[in-house]
């Protein structure tokens, strides 16, 4: 079984994967195939845990390949805090792609935070719709990640060092510094 961490970004996905690296019976990676296209884009090895916020744009293809046979984690964080983090990154990454590629002829007076909120609402809605008929799933909040991770661990039958995994949630991974 594969595991997909669906998320907007800026919500702890890097930390989640660092914790998952303490699982012996799965591999785990963050955005490991984001540079690929076609069939290779979603060709994850069996028993792999992947976090990639770009998967929200591949949900139709993800469903066709993995459907209800995978386990899905909907990882989220307080929306205002997520938007603040994204607004500090408005000129690169997914926010630049959203601003310049998805939105066209956009009104020039939208604030970075307003754009971030719009992006978050779009991605969260896409993920919610995708997951509505999935049976193997869990909703997780960054704010309760340690408790939620233990439930996730049990749900996927993880083997490894749970205490080391939980300790990763005490470390700030990939903080927004701008």
Does residue 64 register a pLDDT over 60?
yes
Eight-class DSSP state of 128: H
| Separation between Cα atoms, residue 157 and residue 149, nearest integer Å | 12
Task: Give the residue ranges of DSSP H helices in the chain.
Answer: 13-20, 59-66, 79-87, 93-97, 112-131, 145-155, 162-167
Eight-class DSSP state of 22: T
**Tens-digit pLDDT profile for residues 87-144:** 999 999 999 999 989 998 777 789 999 999 999 999 999 999 999 999 999 999 999 9
pLDDT for 173? 66
- Identify whether the C-beta of residue 33 lies closer than 8 Å to the C-beta of residue 97: no
Comparing 8 with 99, the larger pLDDT belongs to: 8
- Identify whether the C-beta of residue 148 lies closer than 8 Å to the C-beta of residue 110: no
Residues 6+ apart with CB under 8 A from 96: 90
- Widest pairwise Cα distance in the chain: 51
Q: Which two tokens stand for residue 45?
A: 């090895």
Indicate the CATH number of 3-170 among 3.40.50.300, 3.30.70.260, 3.30.70.3340, 3.90.1170.50. 3.40.50.300
Residues 50-75, mean pLDDT to the nearest whole number: 98
Residue 174 gets the label, from left (phi > 0), alpha (psi -120 to 50) or beta, of left
**Tens-digit pLDDT profile for residues 13-26:** 999 999 999 999 99
Can you give the pTM of this predicted structure? Answer: 0.94
In angstroms, how far is CA 33 from the centroid of its own chain?
Answer: 14
């Amino acid at each position: 079984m594969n595991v997909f961490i669906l998320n907007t970004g800026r919500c702890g996905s890097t930390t989640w994967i660092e914790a998952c690296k303490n699982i012996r019976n799965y591999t785990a990676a963050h955005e490991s195939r984001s540079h690929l296209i076609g069939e290779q884009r979603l060709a994850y090895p069996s028993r792999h845990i992947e976090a990639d916020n770009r998967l929200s744009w591949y949900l139709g293809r993800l469903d066709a390949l993995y459907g209800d046979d995978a386990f899905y984690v909907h990882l989220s964080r307080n929306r205002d805090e997520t938007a603040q983090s994204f607004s500090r990154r408005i000129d690169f990454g997914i926010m630049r792609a959203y601003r310049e590629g998805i939105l066209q002829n956009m009104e020039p007076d939208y604030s970075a935070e307003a754009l971030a909120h719009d992006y978050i609402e779009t991605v969260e809605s896409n993920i919610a719709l995708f997951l509505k008929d999935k049976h193997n799933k869990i909703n997780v909040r960054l704010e309760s990640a340690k408790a939620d991770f233990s439930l996730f661990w049990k749900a996927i039958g993880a083997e490894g060092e749970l205490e080391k995994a939980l300790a990763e949630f005490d470390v700030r991974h990939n903080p927004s510094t701008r």
